[in-house]
Structure 1
């Protein structure tokens, strides 16, 4: 996993709001948010291109956010934890939720920011969904309308309505990596994330956190609502996604993660991600 202190590569351009759309490439997050807060449109569309290692500032805005990874992979850090958004998937970020985004590699992201209260039935926490072909076409169409200068409020509203319908039909994926507030458990979790494929005994991890084995087990349950094993499997999935996206063979990834066979790894991967490792890797 990349160093979270990696700084984004920025251009000198500024985001432009026109007809409810924002086009952006490596621009300052604060400037984008400022434009969103002053825009009176019900929804705002944003196309973003990020270089590997891009890390936004921690920020929030009064609009709900849907961000679709058209290519590349994104990590989103919130107070709830870390969430991975693979290509072909999108994330819902509720209004006024502090968040920070990092590009794991070169990434193209299509986003829509909706007025607070427009979609009140969407969850109050961040969630990842699998995008349908129609969803991708609708998001892309919003950008194309702006590029052609053929903006129509009725067309825009119709597309926004269709996107909301597609969200309601989309499959949700558990791609979250909850992080603890307790500093002792945070030291343990960070050690696992830095080297998720290194097998450590519970006693060694407990020493890293300067806690007893029993206290560590209790902290995972009380702080993260997960067992130690469940949290470690999530860390392995994050590692697997990054390596598969980088082109590592499925067999190599499976063996490095401790699976006795590629088929066992593939079965777990499909359950958690919604596609096979090979299908996921083909998107890169």
Structure 2
């Protein structure tokens, strides 16, 4: 009996010393840079219940309206910026609660997943040693692995310094002017963009404009105003380009 009691006590002490498997972070933040808690070895599921987030990684820039979340594996450096006042929820998952494979990905957040993420953040920390917690985490994982990634919300980032400089200019200047400012030939610049982003300069510029448009639309601006902001003279031309790039009408991204 004494041996069983000692064994039970060792198990309790082991659980007390062990890190939780899930932590949560919640904050409502105005527009501007945001630096949430960072911890080595923790994966992150970043989600804005309301508002719009932009997340920069070495891979590129991810735009997150309120019905999208970003999975960031442990060790991936990233920066957050709030575009419109946002209610941010982050789930930090330890290695035992690894929810998705390697690689950043944007995921759709249907209503059930939204409520579960909010619930888990509110009730964290959680441990897989607790059966109730383990069941909730298992449901979360089941929901996440079934969701397709939305690659259209990524703006790939080039690495070459000339291409990087061009990204700061290409939305406001034509390609010839960009080449003169950067000091590189058009053919070379096109080759760099295609090799490092998988897009031509024109495709990259269109994606940049459409993702800027997503942020404005999700913030509640009318379609006509957004069209002018991203360089289109008519809402109809903007809507056609938007649908071609992102596969749905601009109004689908506005707050309900």
Alignment of 1:154 with 2:135, yes or no, is: no
C-alpha change, 1:144 and 1:113, in structure 2 (3 Å) is closer
SS state at 1:172 partner: coil
Q: For 1:188, which of 142, 163, 166 is the aligned residue?
A: 166
Number of matched pairs: 236
Which structure would you say has the larger RCO, counting Cα contacts within 8 Å and 6 or more residues apart?
A: 2
Q: For 2:84, which of 89, 93, 105 is the aligned residue?
A: 105
Stretches of structure 2 lacking an aligned partner (at least 5 in a row):
1-16
C-alpha change, 1:78 and 1:201, in structure 2 (3 Å) is same
- Counterpart for residue 229 of structure 1: 202
1:274 Cα shift? 6.2
Equivalences for 1:206-225 in 2 at 5 Å? Answer: 206-225=179-198
Q: For 1:238, which of 202, 211, 217 is the aligned residue?
A: 211
Distance in 2 (alpha carbons) for counterparts of 1:117 and 1:272: 38
Q: For 1:173, which of 150, 157, 163 is the aligned residue?
A: 150
Deviation string for 1:168-218 (max 9, x for gaps)? 2223212111222211111110123xxx3x3x3221111121101111111
TM-score w.r.t. length of structure 2 = 0.80
SS state at 1:72 partner: strand
Structure exhibiting the larger radius of gyration computed from Cα positions: 2
RMSD: 2.8
Checking the alignment, whether the CA contact within 8 Å between 2:51 and 2:219 is kept in structure 1 is no
SS state at 2:90 partner: strand
- Identify, as 1 or 2, the structure richer in helix: 2
Checking the alignment, whether the CA contact within 8 Å between 1:76 and 1:101 is kept in structure 2 is yes
